[in-house]
Amino acid sequence: MNFFSDDQVNIEILRKRAFNYRWATHEPDVIPLTAADPDFSTAPPIIQAISNYCAAGYFPYGPPKGDLGFRNSIAQWFARKKNAQIFSDLILPVNSAAYGLFICAKAILKEGDNAIIPDPVDFLFRKSIEHAKGIVKTCSLDKKTAQFDVEELRKKIDSKTRAIFLCNPNNPLGKIIQKEHLETIIDIAKEYNLWIVSDEIWSDIFFEKPCISIRSSVLSHYERVLIVSGLSKNFALAGHRVGYVIAPDELTFNQIYQASEHATTAFGISVLAQVIGMTALTQCDDWLKAFQNHLSKMRKLTFEFIEEIPFFKNNFPDATYLAFPQLKNTELNSEEMVAKILKTAHVALIPGGVNWFESQSEGHIRICYSTSEAILTEAFERIKSCTNDLFKK
């Protein structure tokens, strides 16, 4: 069965359920290539596991440090897929990668401390640090490689700097950070005794070459490393809010656990989300492989489309299902271009710009291509047929 054929996208359901700038938030004639959330249903073993778990009808409180089965499955996933040895009892399941970022920032920053984040990067990085009353310092990335400008990075570090945040692969650039650069970051972090917080939520969506986890055994060992990840992107589970944080040692795990406030029961991941997470990581390899194959074709379609548009400059992503072309030959800025495409072509996109992906993202637009070939082709045809109108301010 092809899980990613054109007839597998149920727009009727998506129009009711898919929020966050997607189908349910637009007029019916709009195609949203917006928030990074697939248009496909999740893997069949997950749907089966939900129904099996619910059939018993019991839904008591779960353990505040997370379900052991889920924690074990994350440790095994890292061993199987990422060449990384992780102990289950240092993994805290949380109710999203977004929350994972928030509690990492809270655990390692005091008011007035600062942390360095990449620019461009997803707005959650800034939000999590500011929420912890920390100060955000941005450091420019080379948009072709997602590598920090190392000279700038060193200049930004001062006595109040506590952490360097990484997004690997990078949203919105769609780029994997190469091994040599990860080693450089580890060296700098060691030199200044900084934390590395590595957001690896996109690390299972790659094409030619896999993404190297900061805890991979091919990298030099460094203790002060936190990983944030989740299952929204790889298994189409965003609505279940399933994520986790990996700590390097028991002391740090306890700090993360304190910051999570799970013990109060006011916060925490649902038991069902953990059943789902465990099933995804233990029974859905084939589905993920097929998803990657489909995305590889959609990526090609997206590249070809971008090449045809006179005011888009391609920046070929090697991971994620995001393309992030730069605008050229136009006076429109990112917001204006996105508004114009919505109005003329009825296709919704995400603009670059400081509100979304920090300041270096201005002059770009983001296209999410995790949909069917028919929908993507239709969206691109619509934009192509409006190119003359799109030049005008």
Binding footprint of ligand PLP on the chain (CB under 6 A): 36, 96-98, 122, 124, 167, 171, 199, 201, 230, 232, 238, 243
Work out the burial of residue 160: count CB atoms within 10 Å of its CB; fewer than 13 is exposed, 13-18 middle, 19 or more buried. middle
Nearer to ligand PLP, 113 or 122 (CB): 122
CB proximity list for 179: less than 8 A, separation 6 or greater: 212, 218, 219
DSSP 8-state secondary structure symbol assigned to residue 239? G
Residue 375 near residue 367 (C-beta atoms within 8 A): no
CB of 369 to ligand PLP, least distance (A): 14
Question: For residues 211 and 309, which CB has a smaller minimum distance to ligand PLP in the complex?
Answer: 211
Identity of the residue, 134 or 243, whose beta carbon is nearer to ligand PLP in the bound complex: 243
Q: How far is the CB of 312 from ligand PLP (least distance, A)?
A: 22
Q: Nearer to ligand PLP by C-beta: 67 or 345?
A: 67
- Give DSSP secondary structure letters for 168-232: SSBTTTTBPPPHHHHHHHHHHHHHHT-EEEEE-TTTT-BSSSPPPPTT-TTSPP-SSEEEEEEST
CB atoms within 10 A of CB 152: 15
Virtual torsion, Cα 45, 51, 57, 59, nearest 10 deg: 50
- Least Å distance, CB 95 to ligand PLP, is 8
- Name the residue nearer to ligand PLP (CB basis): 75 or 98: 98
Q: Which is nearer to ligand PLP, 231 or 247 (CB)?
A: 231
Handedness of CA 316, 317, 321, 326 (dihedral sign): negative
Min. distance of Cβ 326 from ligand PLP in angstroms?
20
Q: What angle do CA 183, 113, 165 make, to 5 degrees?
A: 30
| In the complex, minimum distance from the CB of residue 204 to ligand PLP, in angstroms, rounded to a whole number | 13
Q: How far is the CB of 199 from ligand PLP (least distance, A)?
A: 5
- CB 246, CB 256: distance < 8 Å: no
CA distance 105 to 77: 25
Q: Give backbone dihedrals phi and psi of 273, rounded to 5 degrees, phi first.
A: -60, -35
Choice between 284 and 332, CB closer to ligand PLP: 284
Minimum CB distance to ligand PLP, residue 173 (Å): 11
Neighbours of 187 (CB within 10 A): 12
